[in-house]
Structure 1
Amino acid sequence: MKKLIAVALIAVSMISIASNAYALVSVRGYTRSNGTYVRPHIRTNPDGYTWNNFSY
């Protein structure tokens, strides 16, 4: 029983780590139409929820 619980905890933690890895998106630097350069940055994956964004 202890082995089953340990395996379940390891599986849950691995799934949690993997899902967090895909929550961030790298944005390349670009130049806007008015000539302003936007530096490369990282943002959250757009998903429609406001509570899980950096700006919340």
Structure 2
Amino acid sequence: MRLLLLIEAAAQDPAPDDEVPDQTVGVVRTQVRLQKLDFWVRYPDFLASQLMVW
């Protein structure tokens, strides 16, 4: 379930010139954004401490 939520959060609207099927809802162009989001979800204490410092 967590992975589906991360994919939905990382997906972007397809560009008009992209060759994607008509039913495409979103496009994930790279795994880096998914990996970053997965880190924050797995370690929420680290995220909270970073937000407190920021």
Same-fold call, TM cutoff 0.5: no
RCO higher in 1 or 2 (8 Å CA, sep ≥ 6)?
2
TM-score for the superposition, normalised by structure 1: 0.28
TM-score for the superposition, normalised by structure 2: 0.29
- Compare CA radii of gyration and give the structure with the larger one: 1
